[in-house]
C-alpha cells in the first residue's frame, strides 16, 4: 500500500475517473490526503463528481477538494478547453498530472481493420497515448513552473505490463494485420517512452519527474465485459461480477502504485513501477533513441491535429 502523504497545497489532475475505475480511486485517495484534485471523465462527469464528493463527505474531508470536468482526449477542442479552463481556474499551479484515462477495445472481436478516430488515428494510440501527449504539452508550462517553485512536480503515466506486446518499429508504422491487444500494448509502450523522455528533458532543470505505472490486473469497467440484459446477459454478468474479485485486484489496491507515484516524496523518476516498487520494463521501452524519436514525431502529429489544414498526419 502507498504510504499516506500530506498532499495539502498540491494541485493534481487525474484523467479518466468514472466510478469503478482506477482514476476514481486515485482521485478519491489523493483528495482525502488533502490534495486539490481535478478529475476528468468523458461521459460520466456528474455521476463521478457526486460520488466522489459523497465519499469525501463521508470520511469528513472537505468536498471542495475535488471537482470533475469533462475531457475527451480524442477531441482536440475538448483538450484545449480543459487546459484553458484549468490554467484560468488554478492560477497556473499544477504539481501532479496523472495520465490515467485509457481504453481497451473488444479483444475477442475479429477486427477486419483498425478502428480509427475521426481524425484518422488508431483508437488506442489516439486515446491512450497521443491524447495524453497533447494534454501534457498544454500543461507543461504549469508543471515546469510548479516544479521550480515547489521543488517537485510529477507526471504519472499509466501504462501496463502489456507494453511487452509493443515493438518500437510499430510506434511509427502501420501494422499489417490488426490486433487490438498489440495496438493497446503499443500505446502502453509509448507511455513508458513518454515518461523516460520527460525525465530526461525536464527533471534536472525543472524538478519535473515522470513515472510509468502498471497497476496490476484490476477489477474495473475496463476488465468487466458485460453483455446486454436478457436471460443470458444477466447470468453472464452475475457470474463475472462474482468471479472478478477473486482473480483481480480491487480498485483501491490497484490504485496504490499510481497514488504512490503521485505522492511519495523523493521517488526516482524515469522508472516503471509495479506493486509500489520499481521494476524493469522491456528493453524496447529503454531504447533512448526511440523515446526521442517518438517525442519529436508526436509533436508533429499534435501539430497536424491542431492545424489540420497542414496536411495528413501520416500515421496508421
Taking a C-beta distance cutoff of 8 angstroms, is the pair 210, 195 a contact? yes
CA distance 195 to 295: 10
- DSSP letters, 86-150, are HHHHTTT---EEEE-------SSS--SS--B-TTSSBHHIIIIIIHHHHHHHHHHHHHHHHHHHH
Count CB neighbours of 113 within 10 A: 8
Q: Which of 114, 127, 285, 291 binds ligand NAP (CB under 6 A)?
A: 127
The residue (of 16 and 147) whose beta carbon lies closer to ligand NAP is 16
CA distance 284 to 156: 20
- Minimum distance, C-beta of residue 24 to ligand NAP, in the bound complex (Å): 7
| Among 39-47, 169-177, 200-208, 303-311, the segment contacting ligand NAP (CB under 6 A) | 39-47
Q: Under the criterion CB under 6 A, does residue 160 sit at the interface with ligand NAP?
A: yes
Count CB neighbours of 281 within 10 A: 24
Query: 265 by DSSP, 3-state: which?
Result: coil
- Helix 131-150 / helix 288-306 crossing angle, nearest 10 deg: 110
- Minimum distance, C-beta of residue 272 to ligand NAP, in the bound complex (Å): 12
Q: Which of 24, 86, 129, 184 is catalytic?
A: 184
The residue (of 111 and 206) whose beta carbon lies closer to ligand NAP is 111
Residue nearest to ligand NAP (CB): 102
Site for ligand NAP in 187-246 (CB under 6 A): 214-215, 217-218, 220-223
Q: Verify whether residue 273 is a known catalytic residue.
A: no
Site for ligand NAP in 11-30 (CB under 6 A): 15-18, 20-23
Site for ligand NAP in 79-108 (CB under 6 A): 100-103
Residues of this chain that bind ligand NAP (CB under 6 A): 15-18, 20-23, 41-44, 71-74, 100-103, 127-128, 158, 160, 214-215, 217-218, 220-223
Amino acid at each position: 500500500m502507498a504510504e499516506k502523504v500530506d498532499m495539502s497545497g498540491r494541485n493534481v489532475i487525474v484523467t479518466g475517473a468514472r466510478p469503478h475505475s482506477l482514476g476514481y480511486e486515485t482521485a478519491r485517495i489523493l483528495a482525502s490526503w488533502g490534495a486539490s484534485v481535478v478529475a476528468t471523465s468523458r461521459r460520466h462527469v456528474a455521476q463521478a463528481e457526486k460520488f466522489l464528493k459523497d465519499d469525501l463527505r463521508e470520511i469528513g474531508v472537505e468536498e471542495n477538494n475535488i471537482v470533475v470536468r469533462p475531457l475527451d482526449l480524442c477531441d482536440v477542442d475538448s483538450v484545449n478547453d480543459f487546459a484553458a479552463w484549468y490554467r484560468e481556474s488554478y492560477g497556473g499551479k499544477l504539481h501532479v498530472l496523472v495520465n490515467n484515462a485509457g481504453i481497451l477495445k473488444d479483444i475477442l472481436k475479429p477486427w477486419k481493420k483498425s478502428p480509427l478516430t475521426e481524425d484518422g488515428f488508431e483508437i488506442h494510440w489516439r486515446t491512450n497515448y497521443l491524447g495524453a501527449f497533447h494534454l501534457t504539452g498544454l500543461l507543461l508550462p504549469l508543471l515546469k513552473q510548479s516544479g521550480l517553485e515547489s521543488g517537485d512536480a510529477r507526471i504519472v503515466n499509466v501504462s501496463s505490463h502489456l507494453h511487452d506486446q509493443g515493438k518500437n518499429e510499430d510506434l511509427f508504422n502501420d501494422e499489417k494485420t490488426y490486433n487490438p491487444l498489440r495496438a493497446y500494448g503499443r500505446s502502453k509502450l509509448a507511455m513508458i517512452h513518454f515518461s523516460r523522455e520527460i525525465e530526461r528533458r525536464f527533471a534536472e532543470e525543472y524538478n519535473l519527474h515522470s513515472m510509468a505505472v502498471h497497476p496490476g490486473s484490476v477489477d474495473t469497467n475496463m476488465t468487466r465485459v458485460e453483455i446486454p440484459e436478457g436471460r443470458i446477459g444477466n447470468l453472464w454478468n452475475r457470474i463475472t461480477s462474482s468471479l472478478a474479485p477473486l482473480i483481480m485486484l480491487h480498485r483501491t489496491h490497484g490504485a496504490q502504485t499510481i497514488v504512490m507515484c503521485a505522492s511519495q516524496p523523493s521517488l526516482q523518476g524515469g522508472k516503471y513501477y509495479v506493486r509500489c516498487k520499481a521494476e524493469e520494463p522491456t528493453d524496447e521501452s529503454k531504447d533512448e533513441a526511440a523515446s526521442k524519436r517518438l517525442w519529436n514525431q508526436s509533436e508533429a502529429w499534435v501539430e497536424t491535429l491542431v492545424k489540420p489544414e497542414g496536411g495528413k498526419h501520416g500515421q496508421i
